[in-house]
Amino acid sequence: MIPKIVSGIAGLDELTGGLPENTMTLVYGPPKTGKSIFCYQFLRQTVADGDLCSYLMTDYTQSQLEQQMMAFDWFIHDYIRDKKLYVIDTASGSVGAMQKETKNMMISSPQNPTDIASKVIQQLQDIYQQTQQFRSILDSSTTLFAFNSPILVIRVLKSYIMRIKMAGGTGIITYTEGTAETEIETMLKASVDNIIYLDSETITIEAMAGIRPKSAGYRITDNGIVVG
C-alpha cells in the first residue's frame, strides 16, 4: 500500500484515498476554477494535522492569505504564531525589498529563481531539523512563467520538486492552463507525480500512483471545494 495523506478537500479523498505521501501534485486548470482555494484547504488540513508547511506564494502576501482563508472561517493565526508556516512571498516583490525578513517569512522576487531556490533551501533546513514529514504549496507557478523564460521555470520547478521530496515533503503546485506553450505544459506534467485538473465543474485525477484516471463533479461552497 502506498502511504497516503488527507488532502483536506471534501470528497476528494473518497475518490483517491488521499494524496500519496512524499509526492508532488500538479493542480491545474483555467483561471477561476478554485486552484488557490484548493491550496487553502490543503493548508487548513496541514494546520489541523499540526504539520509544518512550506508555502511559496507569488500572487498574495501572508496577510492576504490569512484574510482569504478567514473568509471561509479558516484561521491560521495561531499556526503562524507558532512558526509552523514557512512563507516565501514573491508577491510583495521589489516594493517589499526593505521589509524585515525572518526564517518563517522571506521575501523574494518572481524573476529571481536563484534567490527563491536559496530561500526554499534555507527554510527546508530549518524544517528538516524538526520533522521529516511536512507539506509544501507553490501557488502559483503561472507567475514564474510570466517573469522568466519558460524553459528556465521548468528547470527551477524540477529543482524545487527534488528538494521538497528529498526533505520528506508532500506538496502541490498550481498552474493556470494555457499560460505556457503546450510543449512546456507537457514538461511540467512530466516533472510531477500526480496531476489534478479543475475545469470549474469537474475535477479529474489525470495521474496518481496506484489509481486509474477518474473524475467527479465539484462545486465551490462556503466550505471551499466540495467534490461529488
200 binds another protein per the rule CB under 8 A: no
Cis peptide before 54 (omega within 30 of 0): no
Site string for another protein, 105-134 (x = CB under 8 A): ----x-xxxxx-xx-xx--xx--xx--x--
Beta pairing, strands 4-5 & 19-20: antiparallel
Rounded Cα gap, residues 190 and 55, in angstroms: 22
Task: Please report whether residue 60 would count as binding another protein according to CB under 8 A.
Answer: no
Q: What is the CA radius of gyration of the chain?
A: 16
Among 12-20, 48-56, 144-152, 193-201, which window interacts with another protein (CB under 8 A)? 144-152
Answer yes or no whether residue 168 interacts with another protein by CB under 8 A. yes
Report the residue number, 102 or 114, with the smaller CB distance to another protein.
114
Q: Is 97 in the site for another protein (CB under 8 A)?
A: yes
For another protein (CB under 8 A), the number of binding residues is: 31
DSSP 175-217: EETTSS-HHHHHHHHHHSSEEEEE-SSEEEEEEBTTB--EEEE
CB of 182 to another protein, least distance (A): 18
Kindly indicate which of the ranges 33-41, 92-100, 181-189, 209-217 contains the residues binding another protein, using the contact rule CB under 8 A: 92-100
Identify the H or E element spanning 151: helix 150-166
Task: Determine, following the binding rule CB under 8 A, whether residue 138 of this chain makes contact with another protein.
Answer: no
Cell of 159: 529543482
Phi, psi dihedral angles at 200 (to 5 degrees): 90, -15
Where along the sequence are the contacts to another protein (CB under 8 A)? Answer: 94, 97-98, 109, 111-115, 117-118, 120-121, 124-125, 128-129, 132, 147-149, 151-152, 155-156, 158-159, 163, 166-168
